[in-house]
Amino acid sequence: MTRASRRRTQSEHNAGMYNHPVSGHTGHEVIFMTPKEVLYVEDALGHAQFLKTQCQDAVDALRDPELKRQAQQWLQENQAIFRSFYSLV
């Protein structure tokens, strides 16, 4: 077995280890994360929450309509990012 095929086999093995369908439910997949991956997602959630707060503060403070619209757009984008990361946990 070559090194590349051994690596591919190990990768396929790892994928099978972490991803399992949920039986008897809605067909959603359960993904088991390593502790390092969980820390990464938690860190990303913290950053996304911080950006949401900063954007909301800007929306509340800005008086110029164009700048306020831009801050609202960023707020909506950061809310979507937060929901995306939150859906992982």
Single-letter residue type at 79:
Q
Where do the domains of the chain lie?
A: 1-32, 33-89
The predicted structure's pLDDT at residue 29: 72
CA distances from 76 to 6, 21, 35, 72, 83 (A): 45, 32, 30, 6, 11
The predicted structure's pLDDT at residue 87: 83
Q: How confident is the model at residue 1 (pLDDT cuts 50, 70, 90)?
A: very low
The predicted structure's pLDDT at residue 13: 46
